[in-house]
Structure 1
Amino acid sequence: MTFRPYADRHPIPAAILCAALQFGLTLLILALGKQYAPPEAYRKVKLLAFASTVILPLLLTHALGLWRDVGFNRIKPTGFFVACLLPVILFASMGVRLPAPGGLGGDLLIQFFNAFGEELLFRGVIFLVLLRLPLWQAITLNGLLFGSMHLIHGYMDGDWSHALVWALMSSCAGMMFAAARASTGSLWLLIGLHMVLNLASMYSNIEAAAGALVLQRVEWAIKAVELGLALYLIASRTRRSALAQTVA
């Protein structure tokens, strides 16, 4: 049995396998680099691990024959997508700090490839695999798998408790991204949203203006917004489906 029929019949194990492949590949590159590369070259090892988060999703998209379905052919925002920009507004609510001279271009490039790879894998390949399930399950599992990928920071930084909190918070963003993907059908819009949200977090002036405690409260408020938006989309789609069945 090839992977595509397996994914059609067993969406949850197939989705977990796709995420595990990326997690395992990234971890393997980092572990080999830490073991064999000199300390001064470890930055290049991290760049190689980062590159794998773009290459593997491209290979999976090709292997599953999903090029026409992942959402590259749609760029029409919806009202729900516009609402998903609220976390960006919250991060920028106390202004933004300017990057170092020459730093913006590098940050834009890195965040584009980061968003491209993660969105192609999670809201492209994995989301399409999970759509064999009810929408609420697809969105929830997509968010949880997305969050679990951020446990890699526990290995990179040695702080597993912080990585666990990061994974849980990232799961909320992942659910919102999946809900926005269900609303728009567009992967490019999700790549843009993901990129802008990351940049807003990086350049937020909240901590400088009001302190770390206020920043923490804003971050938790943002997670509540992200989770609330995902739940709203799930509830509205479930209600719409129930009405359609009643009419039929």
Structure 2
Amino acid sequence: MPSRTNFKPANPARFALLVMLILEVVLLVLLGAAKLFLPSVPLLALDLPVLLVNAVVAAVLLTRLGWWRVAGFRSLERPRDLLLLTLPLALLVVPALLIGVDVPPLGKALALLVVTFLIAFQEEAIFRGVLLHGLMPLGMTRAVFGSALLFGVIHANSLLVGRDPAFVAVQVIASILGGIGSAALRLRFGSIWPLIALHAVNDFLQFSASQGLAVERAAPVLLIVKLGVASMMALYGLFLLHGIDVRSRSGRAMSATAQP
């Protein structure tokens, strides 16, 4: 990809598919290398290496495209906008209280915090940063729904490492729905940092409730709650989108070329 500041894709849809292809190739190469050189290591144990590589891929993409700022890696201009996180946080905390979250020991909790931050950083940077901005020439609504759809599709890769198919199916649907709300919040904030924090909290609570990253067979109640929370996030996102003017501060930050 061109190494210049504020690169604009000539074909946004093709650009988005190219980014997805890069992610898929990276994953397949890592899985292939693991099977070849570490045949005794379960694929589910590759979560951390894959996350680290994806985080590097996200950073390289943002740097090569010159998109760190337009992707949202900047300060929040209006701190009061953080009030928009009230509902999303409630949607995360209430189900966690209903299901029950076993707080892991300090050492394990710190490791889980690192892992969830890596997940949040690389997924938000790519889907609510690179892809959302790259699709904006197609229009705000198409960019939001397009980035959400791709966010859901990428979660089907969990099947490749042996996760529960029922969980993966719910994860794909929930990621699409939740992606709508996350993209809308991203546009309202103008900054991606609140989304990274929200994403990390969500994953920390989810992994604590499911006893780790390796979900081999998810409890039905966890799947139902996951879909319910994601559906509420999608509705919240649609509500927020009505309050966004693409000509406003947040809209300009995504649809126009920002200064480096």
Measured against the shorter chain, the TM-score band is: 0.7 to 0.9
Q: Greater CA radius of gyration, 1 or 2?
A: 1
1:85 aligns with 2:89: yes
Equivalent-residue separation in structure 1 for 2:35 and 2:26 (angstroms): 14
SS in 2 for 1:27: helix
Query: Residue 88 of structure 1 aligns to which amino acid in structure 2?
Result: L
Deviation digits for residues 137-195 of structure 1, max 9, x if unmatched?
11111111111111111111165564333212211122211111011011111110100
Equivalences for residues 211-230 of structure 1 within 5 A: 212-230=219-237
Partner of 1:244: none
Q: Which has the higher helix share?
A: 1
Deviation digits for residues 75-118 of structure 1, max 9, x if unmatched?
33344333322321232333532214521011001111111111
Cα 1:32–1:217 change in 2 (3 A) is same
Equivalences for residues 58-73 of structure 1 within 5 A: 58-73=59-74
Q: Residues 90 and 222 of structure 1 are in contact (CA less than 8 Å); yes or no, is this contact kept in structure 2?
A: no
Cα 1:65–1:157 change in 2 (3 A) is same
Moved over 6 A (4+): 3-6, 238-241
Shift of residue 229, structure 1, vs aligned partner: 1.1
Show structure 1 runs of 5+ residues with no match.
206-210, 242-248
Show structure 2 runs of 5+ residues with no match.
211-217, 249-260
Shift of residue 238, structure 1, vs aligned partner: 7.0
Equivalent-residue separation in structure 1 for 2:9 and 2:75 (angstroms): 24
Partner of 2:34: 33
Equivalent-residue separation in structure 1 for 2:171 and 2:96 (angstroms): 20
Give me the TM-score of the superposition, normalised by structure 1: 0.83
Cα 1:218–1:25 change in 2 (3 A) is same
57-66 or 24-33: bigger deviation:
24-33
Equivalences for residues 35-184 of structure 1 within 5 A: 35-40=36-41, 45-75=46-76, 76=79, 77-94=81-98, 95-157=100-162, 160=165, 162-184=167-189
**Aligned Cα root-mean-square deviation (Å):** 2.9
Partner of 1:246: none
Q: Residues 26 and 50 of structure 1 are in contact (CA less than 8 Å); yes or no, is this contact kept in structure 2?
A: no
Give me the TM-score of the superposition, normalised by structure 2: 0.79
Equivalent-residue separation in structure 2 for 1:103 and 1:29 (angstroms): 25
Cα 1:166–1:101 change in 2 (3 A) is same
